[in-house]
Structures are given as C-alpha cells and as structure tokens.
Amino acid sequence: MSGVDSGRVVVTGGAGFVGSHVCERLTRSGIPVSCVDNLVTGTRRNIAHLEGGSGFEFIEGDVSSSGTLREISGPVGAVLHLACPASPIDYLRLPLETLEAGSSGTRNALELARRWNARFVLASTSEVYGDPLVHPQPEEYWGNVNPVGPRSVYDESKRYAEALVAAYRRTYGLNTGIVRIFNTYGPRMRAGDGRVVPTFIRQALAGEPLTVAGDGSQTRSLTYVDDTVDGVLAMAARGPAGPVNIGSSEETTVLELAQRIIGLTGSASVIEFVDRPVDDPGRRRPDTSVAREELGWRPRVDCAEGLKRTVEWFSRSSALESPE
C-alpha cells in the first residue's frame, strides 16, 4: 500500500537540498506535507515558494528532540526521514548533532510512523560503504568504514539509523524502507557546503582555481536531484524493505568533473591539486539492479544535462553571494 497517497507526508529535513525538492514534488501532486527542519543546514529560502500554499506546513524544530514531532496532525500516511547534516563541512562542524540525527532523530521519526501505522523511509547514504573494496557496490556489500575517522560521525550515524530501522521492522512489523543515496547534485545546493559539484561551480564562476583533491583519479557517480527524488518517492510508494541503492551508473573522475565544469562555465580557471581528505573514497558507483527490479527506477537525467542545469541555476542564483 502506498503511504504517499493515504494521508499527510512528513518530511524531516524538508528545508534542505534534497528534502525541499521532495516537499515540492509532493505538494505539486496535491499531497499534504509537513516539513520539519531545524534550519541548521537547511534554509527557509528553499521552501518559500511552498509556504502559504494549501496543504503545506513548516515546523521549525529538531527531530532529535522528542517533542518536535508531536505537533504533527494526522492522519500521517508516510514519514520520509531526510534530516541530517550531509556535507563534509557540515558534519565535521556538527559531529554530535549528526550522530543525534541518526540515532535519536531516527527513533523519534520511527515512533511517529508507528503511532500512525505509516510507511517509513530512511534516506541513508552511499557513505555506509566507506572506501569500498567491492565495485560497483551492491546492497549486500557490508562496506569498508573507518568507525573512528573524521568522516565516521556521518557514516556511523547512517549505519546506526539503518540498524534501528531494521529493528523496528522486525520488532513491531513497521512498514519501513531504506534508500542509500549516492552523490546527488542540482539546484538549491549551498555554494559553500564542501561537496564537489557546488565547490567547482562556485570556483569556476568566480574565476578561482578548481581545487581537485589528490590527483583527481577518484571517481563519483553523480545523480541529478530530480532522479533522486523519483527514487525516494518510488520507495515510499512501492513498499520494499531495502536497502536499495539510488544513484547513477555513470562514473566520472573528480578531475574529469572539474574539466567539464570549466568547459560549461566558460571559465578561465585552472586546476589546483590539494591534499586528499582522510578516508576519501577511491571509487564510488552503485549497482542499481535492485532499484530497477523492485522500484522500476532508473536515472533519466545524464551528467551532461544535469550539470548544465545546475550551472545555469548557480549562474543566476543568489547562493553565490553567500558561500555559507
């Protein structure tokens, strides 16, 4: 049974990059949405066009606090849990808050879903695979994660959240699902959030050197945000437990990405090689056969088109005026 058409949908982290696109898609489909966000990394600007509209409500609050989700009026058909700092700059700046979002925040969101017998979907991450020794990464791969490294606050937050979701499914029979989202990009990313696409675009548009970590041979599989939203909502509607990888099989090196963005922006920027971060993954590409078979999902926007749209958005956006 679909959870997105049987009552209000609660989107935690709904004022963030991916969350705001989820809220927008649901609202445009006529589905009532409660967007919950503490605005630590999200912003009201992302949802300003939705506020005041029929069926949309914004609740400013931290899902890690047990009282925040009590304000939600029912019936609730689905809870989509996206709340968590997701960029390296954010989770390194907010390590304890990141761990709380994955632990207390996930449990509070699960309890809301249990109260209404609602479908629950956790937005997990490809970071649960760490620096993978298996390529491409299938869902049954357990990963290669440093549990005490600087990235561990995000990796382990999501790994714990997955374990908690699985425990609620086994213990209470709760209708849960887990999606593992790979490198998503697109409009509404913050220019200074530290992720590779907005960083390169900001630098190229400013005529600054593009800072490529290491020799740039590490790979990423970039997924345009519209495709990621399709995957999240398909997971909410179809009902499998997962985990299910949501990502593109189009793999590119970081150096190639920098060169493409210089070309798209027409920038005179040069490449500058910098030290590679600790535990930075060497290769990253999902096996998406489960998503195709169980969700009927595959990405529709290729990297060339997605980057073009993203560069155009940044070129006309005030996001560049405030990198943070």
The catalytic residue positions are: 154
Cα first-last separation, the chain:
41
CA separation for the pair 51, 319 (Å, rounded): 20
Nearest C-alpha neighbor of 296 from the set 224, 239, 226: 239
| Cα dihedral 118, 246, 180, 15 sign | negative
CA separation for the pair 69, 63 (Å, rounded): 7
CA separation for the pair 246, 172 (Å, rounded): 26
CB–CB of 122/162 below 8 Å? yes
Amino acid at 66: S
CA separation for the pair 131, 256 (Å, rounded): 20
CA separation for the pair 257, 284 (Å, rounded): 14
CA separation for the pair 79, 94 (Å, rounded): 24
The CA distances from residue 6 to 76, 77, 168, 203, in Å, are: 8, 5, 21, 45
Task: At 251, list the tokens.
Answer: 């793999």
| Angle between helix 225-238 and 17-28 (nearest 10) | 60
Nearest C-alpha neighbor of 119 from the set 192, 176, 166: 176
- Angle at the Cα of 124 (from 51 to 277), degrees rounded to 5? 105
Q: Report which DSSP code applies to 6.
A: S
